[in-house]
Amino acid sequence: MQAKPSFGAHETFAFRHGWLKKGVDAAAADPLLFTHDEALVTLGVGKNMVRSIRFWCLATGVAAEGEAVGRQRPLERTSLGRQLLDDGGWDPYLEDPGSLWLIHWQLAANTNRALVWHIIFCDYYETEFSKARLAHFVAQQLGKRGLLTTPAMVEREVDTCLRTYAGTLVRAKGPTVLEETLDCPLVELDLLRLNAAEGLYRFNVGPKVTLSAAVFGFALLRYLAGLDLTQRTVAVDDCLYAPGSPGQVFKLDENSVVEYLEVLETLTDGALRLQETAGLRQLYIHLEAARFDARAYQLLDHYYGRDPD
């Protein structure tokens, strides 16, 4: 049974450079560290930030809660957390742009810890919007899921999500000068742009130069694994427009998705194959569903230059 979605554990902080690495390292050294006051010294941050780091490690799937020890829940690294962020891992300090896209996918796909992120990137189809309009949509979606909320809670969740991708505008010294502070690494993805003068946000829909076919393929296979596939084909439009699809989460256009699918045929040795029949473009899947996750991680191994052979 899936746990009830939680809200507010980010303490209104967007995660910062080094937080995920710091969190998984701390969990590796002491899974119960986040339940002790020593965490403030070990992590070098205040109490609210300790809770926030824990949240972001869980929300991005680099850590998970283990079985309770009394009333305490240990924090344990996931397979992804170990392979990506361990010393000697794929990219411990998230220096590769592909790693940021991977973290973004993990976050948007998390319907428990980061449900508002999921709703905004998977279910919301407006390209340009105000914060108030987006908050209204999010509140409606949470209501449809039977989740009790307050306007203030929804506003905090939406505001934190927007700052994760669009940064924080702060007033600098001097008359009415604004500068952007890029606290969260995901701002570098340029997925969301803020027109401060008009108070409007806009999704940057189109090609993503720093999004590799391997990371797109990882997301696609994880997306397919969550579908109840009754046949071996999926329409390209489903990979582009369906809620939770890579096209939606990465805000891609049709040509970009098709290009990724063409490259994936080679990367997966034909396990995923793009074909067009009677004007209908479909993805043919020559892979057992039980192998989706393993093949997804093989794509990442290849991308980060860690092929087993």
What is the model's pLDDT at position 88? 94
3-state SS class at 273: strand
Cα–Cα dist 288/268, whole Å? 13
Domain boundaries, the chain: 19-93, 96-204, 213-303
| Structural contact between residues 157 and 138, judged by C-beta atoms closer than 8 angstroms | yes
What is the model's pLDDT at position 2? 58
Query: Per CATH, is 19-93 categorized as 2.10.260?
Result: no
pTM: 0.92
Residue 84 to residues 30, 159, 247: CA-CA distances in angstroms? Answer: 19, 28, 23
Topology match between the domains 19-93 and 213-303: yes
What is the model's pLDDT at position 307? 61
What is the model's pLDDT at position 230? 75
Block means of pLDDT (10 residues each) for the chain, 309 residues, are: 79 95 95 90 91 96 89 92 96 97 98 96 96 97 93 96 82 41 84 93 97 98 88 92 96 97 96 87 91 95 77
Q: Which residues contact 120 (CB under 8 A, 6 or more apart)?
A: 134, 138, 158, 161
What is the model's pLDDT at position 172? 42
What is the model's pLDDT at position 154? 97
Query: Per CATH, is 213-303 categorized as 1.10.287.110?
Result: no
CATH class as words, domain 96-204: mainly alpha
3-state SS class at 279: coil
